[in-house]
């Protein structure tokens, strides 16, 4: 199944994107967690664990962290639940319905919520020891502006860890995956979420998104160094790690 068969008509323009994404995620919030775990066969939980491993690698589990584009807070919870964690996590998302849906997960954890746009974060310069973004940078109206804003709020030497979908390159797995991604996933997503566009937007946005080498260059351009990435589950997702210069 060629990637060119994706329906790019479902992708909003840059000018429309913020409002379209906010409205879409607000609509699917009630079934978001269920579909994430179902459609990924629960592998998404393993990916989040690996992302937090990379955030804390060689460092004490302490400090102030931002989970940007936090959605229903699964990545925030993964970080706050680490053994010996002595810090605080701010889970930030510009779709209030997503944060509201994840609020029950707080339950005594060191997590506070902020409804905020990742392109205009309401935090001072150099205040976070690290920033995570799980499946969120793909939805930003401007990727370059998002990376610059993350660089602004991270302390020098702090880490940015981005977990995002990508597409496998080796055959025959690529063809099988694209069949699932372009045909099966949208059908199941529409059936369960009752939303006609969100799970067509997902594969279209992934296939239009920069591949790992290009994404790494964009992180470097925003002020991150020692940028590296690793692919997960045969190339279905990737973790990018960068250190604030």
Alpha-carbon gap, residue 21 to 94, rounded angstroms? 10
Residue 77: which region, alpha, beta or left (left: phi > 0; alpha: psi -120 to 50)? alpha
With H, G, I as helix, E, B as strand and everything else as coil, classify residue 134: strand
pLDDT for residue 6? 55
In whole angstroms, give the CA distance from residue 242 to residue 100. Answer: 30
Q: Which residues lie below 8 Å from residue 13, measured CB to CB, with a gap of 6+?
A: none
Q: From the CA atom positions of the chain, what is the Rg in Å?
A: 17
**DSSP 8-state class, residue 164:** E
The secondary structure of residue 27, as a DSSP letter, is: H
Burial class (CB in 10 A: 0-12, 13-18, 19+), 84: exposed
Q: What is the pLDDT along the chain (245 residues), one digit of tens a residue?
A: 444 455 556 788 988 999 999 999 999 999 999 988 888 889 999 999 999 999 999 999 999 999 999 999 999 999 999 999 999 999 999 999 999 999 999 999 999 999 999 999 999 999 999 999 999 999 999 999 999 999 999 999 999 999 999 999 889 999 999 999 999 999 999 999 988 788 899 999 999 999 999 999 999 999 999 999 999 999 999 999 999 99
Predicted pLDDT at 2 = 47
Quote the CATH superfamily of domain 3-244. Answer: Vaccinia Virus protein VP39 (3.40.50.150)
Question: Cα separation of 22 and 25, whole Å?
Answer: 5
pTM above 0.75, yes or no: yes
**What b/e string do you get for 120-134 counting C-beta neighbours within 10 Å, with b at 16 or more?**
ebebeeeebbbbbbb
CB-CB contact of 39 with 193 (8 Å)? no
Return the domain boundaries, the chain.
3-244
Residue 230: CB atoms within 10 Å: 12
Give the span between the Cα atoms of 125 and 171, in whole angstroms: 45
């Amino acid at each position: 199944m060629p990637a060119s068969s994706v329906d790019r008509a479902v992708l909003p323009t840059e000018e429309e994107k913020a409002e379209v994404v906010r409205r879409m995620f607000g609509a699917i919030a009630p079934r978001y967690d269920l579909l994430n775990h179902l459609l990924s066969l629960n592998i998404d939980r393993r990916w989040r664990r690996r992302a937090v491993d990379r955030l804390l690698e060689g460092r004490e589990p302490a400090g102030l962290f931002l989970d940007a584009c936090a959605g229903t807070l699964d990545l925030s919870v993964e970080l706050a639940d680490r053994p010996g964690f002595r810090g605080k996590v701010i889970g930030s998302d510009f779709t209030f319905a997503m944060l509201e849906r994840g609020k029950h997960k707080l339950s005594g954890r060191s997590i506070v919520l902020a409804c905020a746009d990742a392109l205009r974060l309401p935090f001072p310069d150099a205040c976070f020891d690290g920033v995570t973004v799980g499946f969120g940078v793909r939805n930003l109206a401007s990727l370059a502006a998002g990376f610059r804003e993350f660089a602004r709020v991270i302390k020098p030497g702090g880490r940015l860890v981005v977990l995002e979908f990508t597409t496998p390159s080796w055959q025959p797995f690529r063809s099988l995956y694209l069949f699932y991604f372009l045909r099966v996933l949208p059908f199941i997503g529409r059936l369960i979420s009752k939303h006609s566009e969100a799970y067509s937007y997902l594969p279209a946005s992934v296939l239009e998104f920069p591949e790992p080498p290009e994404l790494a260059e964009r992180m470097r351009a925003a002020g991150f160094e020692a940028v590296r990435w690793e692919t997960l589950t045969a190339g279905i997702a990737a973790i990018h790690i960068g250190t604030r210069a």
